[in-house]
Amino acid sequence: MTVQVHKIGKEILEVEMQNSIDAFSFQNELADLCKQVLIPAIENLFNRKNFGENIIQIEKLEIDAGVINYSNWKNGLVDKVIYEFERYLDKISCTSNMLNPIANIKFVAQKLNDEHTILHFLKTGDLPWSRSNIDITELQKLIIKVIEKHDEGFFNKLFTLFKSEQKVRDRFIFQFGDNIVEEFILRLFDNKIEIKTLSDWKKILRYLKYSDTKITGLIFKTAIEIFELLSDKLENKEDVQTEIKQAFGQNIISNLSLQEIEQIILYTENNSNKLSKETADVIKKSSKYIQEHRITTGKKDLTTADFGKNKAHEKQSKTSSDEHSWYISNSGLVILHSFLPLFFENCGYTEKNEWQNIELQQRAIALTQYLITGVEEYPEFDLLLNKIICGYEVDNSLPAVIKLSDFEKNETNDLLLSVIGHWKALKNTTASGLRDSFLKRNGKLSFLDDHWLLQVEKKGWDILIDKMPWGFSYIKLPWMKKHIIVEW
């Protein structure tokens, strides 16, 4: 039996009181009741209902609990909300969503929900709030499943995204890796492009000392361009295998420098038995023309610095929109902000508060998450706050795997011990205790006009925050593009 998953984006309780009471105390009681009793009761109610395979999305639901006796207000509020909620759900179950739609209700097939999740992640780097419970492994399984089904409509959506936005291609490569990228290419071309063609060019590019990421990026970019070029013939089921091989090779060669072309000519002469005849022929026929063409026109070589940069026509980043908020689980990172400039300098990431290169900036993002969790797992959809604090474009992707050195890990432990040492109220707290009590903290991150707003979930031990000898209500490190206002 499939386990049901229920998500509530936001709940708001509005209460009017006749008697004069301690408003702050009542607010805390109400928050505790919500978290400990009301939300679990709603969860149990959802579990009792069965709506088949469809996903039900309720955009907004208002419940009037009426007048409740203050002497028993907690039970009265919970009972009334659950009663009205159940009436609403029963109305849904008795209604055909196709013939008699209900306002604010959407019935979404699981397949469409999965596709939406993938497209949302590829475009933004985060997950829809309704799917925030899945991890990167589940996301990878999800995209493998939809690729294997090869739904033409969904593939067209993916192709359009990959064609128009380099950031999306980068994220696909970074987060899902070579095997999934290769499977997508094969399915895109309906297996009219041979694995041997792809493996030939991987060998050649490895010979040129290209990194695995750069190889996958160039092959993927080439595949997208060739598919667009030959899409009409592919759609008409024409025999284009030879044409694909030639166009594929010519496109890759056009991205090489003159010196690299000379190297692959020599490689082909000495290793013809390792390559298919078609690949070797493409190199022999194309190289002379490309060399002559390059002398007259010039060419900008691909470098790792180009990887992940914005294009002029690409969409604006998240920071240009105030329409959404993001729910995060590492809000406590803001507590460490005062220690980060020296920390990054000690790690060799920065010099005079400037990043040495983009790869070290990416390592800094991973290392800040290691500060929070103590675990070497950095799914990109968990790293929004880390990107902002490290001054990284929030829409740009990150390598899925960043292996930290023992030195870097030791530096994180030293930083946490330094925080505990300066924050005397923590006394004998361990690094693990600091993580669990303050760093792994849920919060809501929003962009407002010209700054970020972080609203942090409160806990009982937050009374120690007042005894912290530094502040964090306003954060703007030297490399940050926008400041963060923190409400804790």
What span, in angstroms and rounded, lies between the C-alpha atoms of 454 and 480? 15
Cα-Cα-Cα-Cα torsion 429, 435, 436, 437, nearest 10 degrees, comes to 60
Look-up of token digits 């023309």: 289
Quote the radius of gyration of the chain (alpha carbons, Å): 27
Please name the amino acid found at residue 79.
D
- How confident is the prediction along the chain (488 residues), in pLDDT tens digits per residue? 456 677 777 778 888 877 667 777 787 788 888 888 998 898 888 888 776 667 787 877 888 888 888 888 889 999 999 988 888 888 776 655 444 556 677 777 778 888 889 999 999 888 887 787 788 888 888 889 888 887 888 888 899 999 988 899 999 999 888 899 999 998 888 877 888 889 999 999 999 999 888 999 999 999 999 988 887 777 666 678 888 888 888 889 888 888 888 899 888 888 878 888 888 888 887 656 555 655 444 444 433 334 334 433 333 444 444 447 888 999 999 999 999 999 999 999 999 999 999 999 999 999 999 999 999 988 899 999 999 999 999 989 998 889 999 999 999 999 999 999 999 999 889 999 999 999 999 999 999 888 999 999 888 888 999 999 999 999 999 999 999 999 99
Residue 278 and residue 249: Cα distance in Å, rounded?
9
- Helix (H) or strand (E) holding 222, with range, is helix 212-235
Cβ-contact 57, 130 below 8 angstroms:
yes
Phi, psi torsion values for 475, nearest 5 degrees: -125, 125
SS3 letters for 111-142? HHHHHHHHHHHHHHCCCCHHHCCCCHHHHHHH
pLDDT at 102: 64
Phi-psi region of 372 (alpha: psi -120 to 50; beta: other; left: phi over 0): alpha
Q: Work out the burial of residue 333: count CB atoms within 10 Å of its CB; fewer than 13 is exposed, 13-18 middle, 19 or more buried.
A: buried
DSSP at 110: H
Q: How far is CA 180 from the centre of its chain?
A: 17
DSSP-assigned beta bridge partners for residue 427? none
* Global confidence as pTM: 0.72
Structure token digits, residue 103: 């306002």
**437 contacts: CB under 8 Å, gap ≥ 6:** 429, 459, 461
- pLDDT score at 10: 73
How far apart CA 165 and CA 174 sit, in angstroms, is 15
Q: What is the predicted pLDDT for the residue at 188?
A: 86
Longest Cα separation, the chain: 92
CA atoms within 13 A on the CB side of 19: 7
Distance in angstroms (rounded) separating the CA atoms of residues 309 and 169? 11
